[in-house]
């Protein structure tokens, strides 16, 4: 039998694919090749989490200067220099991409800077025409922004485009109500852009806890975002002043840019997956089992292309587990239970782990412990925004089933809380933990009486 060219061929150079390639080659001695048609690092590093978080930092300074004055500083902030920020941002992304490439090089992974598609269950064809046979194929091509079809859709931008803008628009419409839409509405608002946000449903952040969603919506409006619920776009027309947007309700408004953040879909189109026998789901996702194996035993998939939990740390864990299982003789599955997440908005973030109140109530009797208050730092500066601390507790087992925090640096807090909840902490474990005073997080261990039961 003719030997395979490689033991593993990875399609996609994002966090999940790169981790799988590095572990398979560097730790387990497999012969690995990887193809990436754009830039190494994937959505998170190049056009997602990392540049977005840097934009969050950039957008926070005007409010920080305002707060500083309340504390006695003679502080002011001038105009924002988008071009200077973009140059620094591009340099940072170049550095991170180089680090990804360096890690692959150190692990002796052969990198192909071109598009790859699947020819059959153990053959990959590159855009150059080269064919490479592999004992195993891993698809880690991530996802891409989804824009619905409507008149004028060709005029819109997506989250991918924001980092490459030559100049910030003066007026922008963000369409969508998920975490990407809310984050960019908050970021651009903080950078001085006049932001309007349309969402077609009755409340933003579908899938998150209802009380936290309402709190976040109020905070965005209070910060200056013109949030319009039950609103959607019917058509967009290019006019002399920018873009004229006609809403489904017949309203008309002009903007300099329209950004669609209406979800993402898996990157599987034109890859030859179905011809190779790989089962795809309704959105085009690769259907896999708990071992990340597709309907074709030699083809696996990790990350957003599987549409399980679309978060970078999850993709990394899936890729690592795959490499350990197939090449390391250490069979294990990625753990998708109790994964923390955050929405990075200003002035408060939303950090969450575990069940929402609504989901927990469907399982059994629960108790809700919650409080909302102005934190010390904000109250002193006469700022009105409030934080929210909330615990969802099983009335029977006393285990904390979920935690939802809306507060500055909520993402940092929820990571720590996630450890306790993952270990099965009860409400009494929280109660036995001494408060750290003065802090916002101390409220999580001083909530004595439930505000709701059921």
pLDDT in tens, 172-181: 999 999 999 9
| Closest C-alpha among 245, 264, 147 to residue 197 | 245
Compute the average pLDDT of residues 22-37. Answer: 98
Residue 103 has pLDDT above 70, yes or no: yes
The whole-number pLDDT of residue 16 equals: 98
333, 335, 337, 338: CA torsion to nearest 10? 180
Tens digit of pLDDT for each residue in 312-362?
999 999 999 999 999 999 999 999 999 999 999 999 999 999 999 999 999
Compute the average pLDDT of residues 20-39. Answer: 97
Compute the average pLDDT of residues 233-242. Answer: 96
Q: What is the DSSP annotation of 402-450? A: EEEEEETTHHHHHHHHHHHHHTT-BHHHHHHSPP-SS-SGGGGG---S-
Structure tokens at 12: 């996609």
C-beta separation of 175 from 233 below 8 A: yes
Contacts of 98 (CB under 8 A, 6+ apart): none
Residue 266, beta-bridge partner list: 143
Q: Which residues are catalytic?
A: 437
The whole-number pLDDT of residue 1 equals: 58
pTM attached to this predicted model: 0.95
Mean of pLDDT over the chain: 97
Domains assigned to the chain: 6-144+265-327 (3.50.50.60), 153-262 (3.50.50.60), 348-453 (3.30.390.30)
Tens digit of pLDDT for each residue in 256-287?
999 999 999 999 999 999 999 999 999 999 99
Query: What DSSP state is assigned to residue 303?
Result: G
Residue 77 has pLDDT above 90, yes or no: no
| Closest C-alpha among 107, 5, 27, 22 to residue 329 | 27
Residue 110 has pLDDT above 80, yes or no: yes
Beta strands in 176-217 (DSSP E): 194-199
Residue 50 has pLDDT above 70, yes or no: yes
How far is it, in rounded angstroms, from Cα 140 to Cα 12? 5
Compute the average pLDDT of residues 300-304. Answer: 98
Q: What share of the chain is helix, strand, coil (3-state, %, to 5)?
A: 35, 25, 40
Compute the average pLDDT of residues 212-229. Answer: 98
Residue 378 has pLDDT above 80, yes or no: yes
How far is it, in rounded angstroms, from Cα 112 to Cα 32? 11
C-beta separation of 189 from 277 below 8 A: no
How far is it, in rounded angstroms, from Cα 287 to Cα 123? 20
Residue 72 has pLDDT above 90, yes or no: yes
385/392: higher pLDDT: 392
The number of C-alpha atoms within 13 Å of 383 and in the hemisphere containing its C-beta is 24
| Per-residue confidence band for 195, with pLDDT thresholds at 50, 70 and 90 | very high
The proportion of the chain whose per-residue pLDDT surpasses 90, expressed as a percent, equals 97
76/425: higher pLDDT: 425
Residue 241 has pLDDT above 90, yes or no: no
The whole-number pLDDT of residue 76 equals: 87
Task: State the CB neighbour count (10 A cutoff) for residue 168.
Answer: 18
Contacts of 253 (CB under 8 A, 6+ apart): 173, 196, 244, 245, 247
Residue 8 has pLDDT above 70, yes or no: yes
Residue 143, beta-bridge partner list: 266
């Amino acid at each position: 039998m003719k030997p395979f060219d490689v033991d593993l061929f990875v399609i996609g150079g994002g966090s999940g694919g790169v981790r799988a390639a590095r572990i398979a080659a560097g730790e387990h001695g497999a012969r690995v090749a990887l193809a990436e048609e754009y830039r190494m690092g994937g959505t998170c590093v190049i056009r997602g989490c990392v540049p977005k978080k840097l934009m969050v930092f950039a957008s926070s300074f005007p409010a920080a200067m305002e707060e500083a004055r309340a504390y006695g500083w003679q502080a002011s902030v001038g105009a924002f220099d988008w071009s200077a920020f973009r140059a620094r941002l591009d340099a940072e992304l170049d550095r991170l991409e180089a680090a990804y490439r360096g890690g692959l090089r150190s692990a002796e992974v052969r990198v192909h800077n071109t598009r790859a598609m699947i020819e059959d269950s153990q053959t990959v064809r590159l855009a150059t025409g080269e064919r490479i046979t592999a004992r195993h194929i891993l698809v880690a091509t991530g996802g891409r922004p989804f824009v619905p079809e409507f008149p004028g859709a060709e005029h819109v931008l997506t989250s991918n485009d924001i980092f490459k803008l030559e100049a910030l628009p003066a007026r922008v419409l963000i369409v969508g109500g998920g975490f990407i839409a809310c984050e960019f509405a908050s970021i651009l608002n903080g950078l001085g852009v006049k932001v309007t946000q349309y969402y077609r449903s009755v409340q933003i952040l579908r899938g998150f806890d209802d009380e936290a969603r309402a709190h976040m919506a109020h905070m965005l409006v209070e910060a200056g975002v013109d949030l319009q619920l039950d609103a959607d776009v019917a058509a967009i027309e290019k006019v002399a002043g920018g873009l004229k947007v006609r809403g489904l309700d017949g309203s008309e408004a002009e903007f300099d840019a329209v950004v669609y953040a209406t979800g993402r879909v898996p990157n599987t189109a034109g890859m030859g997956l179905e011809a190779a026998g790989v089962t795809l789901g309704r959105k085009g996702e690769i259907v896999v089992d708990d071992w990340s194996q597709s309907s074709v035993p030699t083809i696996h998939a990790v990350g957003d292309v599987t549409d399980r939990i679309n978060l970078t740390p999850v993709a990394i864990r899936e890729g690592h587990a795959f490499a350990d299982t197939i090449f390391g003789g250490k069979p294990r599955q990625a753990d998708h239970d109790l994964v923390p997440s955050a929405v990075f908005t200003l002035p408060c973030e939303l950090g969450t782990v575990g069940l929402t109140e609504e989901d927990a109530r469907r399982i059994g009797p629960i108790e809700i412990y919650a409080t909302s208050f102005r934190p010390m730092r904000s109250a002193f500066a006469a700022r009105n925004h409030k934080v929210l601390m909330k615990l969802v507790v099983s009335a029977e087992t006393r285990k904390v089933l979920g935690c939802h925090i809306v507060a500055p640096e909520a993402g940092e807090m929820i990571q720590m809380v996630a450890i306790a909840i993952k270990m099965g902490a009860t409400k009494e474990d929280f109660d036995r933990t001494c408060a750290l005073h003065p802090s916002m997080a101390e409220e999580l261990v001083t909530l004595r009486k439930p505000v709701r039961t059921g």
